[in-house]
Copies of this chain bind each other. A is one copy, B any other.
């Protein structure tokens, strides 16, 4: 690399504000979910994705990419959620390497119990702080970054709650 393209003042300011806002927001949401539902936010996302799909069942690899998780992380997480009785593992009928993760009735109930508090926190700490225009801007910015980094698997967004 010949010479580094350092951040200018505007970029520097944005980057630090972004890091700060992100950590504060994510820490807050994580703590809220941990207290009220006993799971971290990443586990909540897994439950959400399963809840939105017909049969409440997905292949592990599809679940991983839709929840933006590594395979290994998902495997550990599903093991943990299985112990809680919120997810059940099943064999995949069409590919014997595969595994299916199915959201149980208990898991769905737990998700529905946790959702209102979580959505309220997201609204309070994020959307209530932004104008409508900023919500749209944040969406466009996030899409640009996600597209660049190959996050298309998480789209299109099913019509669902949080």
**Which residues on A are within 8 Å of B, measured CB to CB?**
1, 4-7, 9-26, 28, 45, 68, 115-117, 119-120, 122-123, 125-127, 129-130, 132, 134-146, 148-151, 154-155, 157, 159-162
Q: Bound complex: CA of A159 vs CA of B144, how far in Å?
A: 28
Residues in B whose Cβ lies below 8 Å from that of A161: 6-7, 12
Please determine whether B142 and A7 come into contact, CB atoms closer than 8 angstroms: no
Please determine whether B142 and A126 come into contact, CB atoms closer than 8 angstroms.
no
Give chain A's interface secondary structure class.
helix
Query: Whole-angstrom distance between the alpha carbons of A148 and B136 in the complex?
Result: 20
By a CB distance below 8 angstroms, the chain B residues around A7 are: 119, 122-123, 127, 161-162
Q: Known contacts A23-B68, A25-B149, A68-B23: does B5 contact A142 (CB below 8 Å)?
A: no
Q: Tell me how many chains of this kind the complex includes.
A: 2
A12-B157, A123-B7, A144-B129 known; A20+B135 contact, CB < 8 A: no
A119-B68 CB under 8 A given contacts A10-B136, A21-B149: no
Contact assessment for A134 and B135 in the assembled complex, using a CB-CB cutoff below 8 Å: no
Min Cβ gap A5→B in Å is 6
Of B12, B21, B123, B145, the residue contacting A5 (CB under 8 A) is B123
